[in-house]
Amino acid sequence: MKTLPHVELTQQVLGRLTGTTDSRYREIMTTLISHLHAFIRETNLTENEWQQGIEFLTATGRQCDDKRQEFILLSDILGVSMLVDALSHPRGEGTTESTVLGPFFRDGAPRWPHGADIASGVPGIPLVFSGRVIDDLGRPIGDAAVEVWGADGEGWYDVQLADSARMRARGGFTTDAKGEFWFRSVKPVSYPVPSDGPVGKILRKMGRHPFRPAHIHFNVSATGYRPLVTHVFVRGDRYLDSDAVFGVKDSLITDFIHHDSGIAPDGTPIPTAYTSAQFDFVLDGA
C-alpha cells in the first residue's frame, strides 16, 4: 500500500532529527512534530485557520513585556501549567500540594519581620495570616524561607498598578524555631486574569470566564526539603470550581474568618474589624 504524501512528509521531517546529539531534545521534538502533524490531519486544518493560529501566536508575543507574560497566561488557561506542575512535583504523602507560580511573581521582594504589614497601603479588608512550616511528621522547620504575594482588595497585583516599581502585598519571611511566621496584609478577592489581549479572546471564544478564586501565593523553601510553590484559597469563593487556570486543590482551601476585634499572634490588641487565616505548610524531604 502506498504511503500517503502527508504521512511521508511527517516521516521526512522526523528524519531530519538524526543530526542532533541531545537525546532528550530529540525525544521532545519527535513527539511534538508527530502530535502536531496528527492534530493537523485529524482536524483537516485549512490554510486560513493555520494563518489565524500564526497571527494569534504573533499577537501573544507582542503582548509580552517586563510586566506581563501572555504566553504564561496562555499556558495557564489551557491547563498546561498545572499539568507540568503535576508531573514535576509529585506530592509526598501528607505533604502540601503545589500549584502554579503564576505570572506575577517578582524577584527581590523585601524581607519583613514577623507581624509586618506587607500591604503597604493597598486597599482591602485587613488580614492577619499565620502559618507554620513543618515536615510530614509534624516537626517544625526553623529558618525556612517563606515568600508571599497576592492581589489587593480590588483584585490588582502591584505590577499592574501605575506605580508598579513599588512592591506591595508581597514580601519574604523566615520561620522561627517553632516553624512559625505571621504577617498582616489584606484579604484576597477573586479577580479576572488579564483578558484584554489574545488570551482573553480565546477565553471568550470558548465561552469561559476569566476569573480566579481569591487566594494568596506562597513559595516555601528550606535546606533538605523540596521547594513548595502553592496557593492558599478562601473557602466559599464562587470561583473555586471554575478557576480560569485550574489551580485549585481542595487541600489548599482554608477559612478566612471575620472578627470585629481581636488579638494578634504577638498579643497586640486589634481594635477594628479584620480577617484571620491560618495554614500549615508541610514540606517533602528531598
d(CA 275, CA 215): 14
The answer on 88 and 33 residing in a single domain is no
pLDDT tens sequence across 237-274: 999 999 999 999 999 999 999 999 999 999 999 999 99
Identify the domain containing residue 85 by its residue range.
Answer: 74-282
Query: Which grid coordinates are listed for 204?
Result: 471568550
Q: Are 144 and 222 in contact (CB under 8 A)?
A: yes
The answer on 38 and 78 residing in a single domain is no
- Could you give the number of structural domains in the chain? 2
The answer on 103 and 32 residing in a single domain is no
Using a cut of 0.85, tell me whether the model's pTM lies above it: yes
Query: CA end-to-end span of the chain, whole Å?
Result: 54
Q: Is residue 67 part of a domain?
A: no
The single residue listed with the C-alpha cell 517563606 is 146
Helix (H) or strand (E) holding 15: helix 5-15
Pairing mode of beta strands 257-259, 274-282: antiparallel
Is the pLDDT score of 147 beyond 70?
yes
Q: What are phi and psi of 60, to 5 degrees?
A: -65, -45
CATH number at residue 164: 2.60.130.10
Q: Is residue 56 part of a domain?
A: no
Q: Is residue 69 part of a domain?
A: no
Q: Is residue 57 part of a domain?
A: no
Nearest to 193 by CA among 66, 54, 72: 72
The single residue listed with the C-alpha cell 522526523 is 14
Query: Which grid coordinates are listed for 16?
Result: 531530519
pLDDT tens sequence across 78-131: 999 999 999 998 887 899 999 999 888 988 999 999 999 999 999 999 999 999
